Amino acid sequence: MRLSLIKSGTHPDGRGDGGRHVFTYALLPHACGFSAEAVIRPAYELNVHPTVYRAAADIAVPAPLAGVDVPNVIVESVKWAEEGHAFVMRLYEAERTATCTRLRFGTVPEKVSETNLLEEHAKPLPLTDAMVELHFRPFEIKTLRCVYSAE
């Protein structure tokens, strides 16, 4: 067994990857085949450390921002929108399987639209009971724009 931690070219810059590098790696034996639950989620758990805040004991735990109901759709990132009072959520299908999921919001946005990666060409999505239904093709990435105040 071998492990290559860094492999980079030296042309045109022979110093391209010079300097200090920090790596985290793990072996993950699992009985089943490749799946989001067996491989991808444990990889996120290894590489994305939780953010922890101290709070007084009497502060209520806030509702989660959003969640999906199938394991092969990953909420990859959430960021503020480039324009307006909204945030952008990127999700992708991780198991090469066409699938449907319901994205449930903890705090209901005023409207949700599907956009391209540049947050353009918004197509409104029906929002019912704090949920939107999404249909994914294999490995498809979706970008959603979620508005929380009138624009």
Taking only the tens place, the pLDDT of each residue in 62-93 is 778 899 999 999 999 999 998 888 999 999 99
Q: What's residue 83's pLDDT? A: 87
How much of the chain exceeds pLDDT 90, in percent? Answer: 48
CATH T-level fold of 66-147: Immunoglobulin-like (2.60.40)
CA 76 to chain centre: 1
Where exactly are the structural domains of the chain? 66-147
- Which residues is 99 bridged to in the sheet? 136
* Host H or E run for residue 46: helix 41-47
10 Å CB burial of residue 143 (0-12, 13-18, 19+) is buried
* CB-based contact 105:131 (threshold 8 Å): yes
User: If you average pLDDT over residues 127-137, what whole number do you get?
Assistant: 95
SS3 60: coil
State how far the Cα of 132 lies from the Cα of 123, in Å rounded to an integer. 13
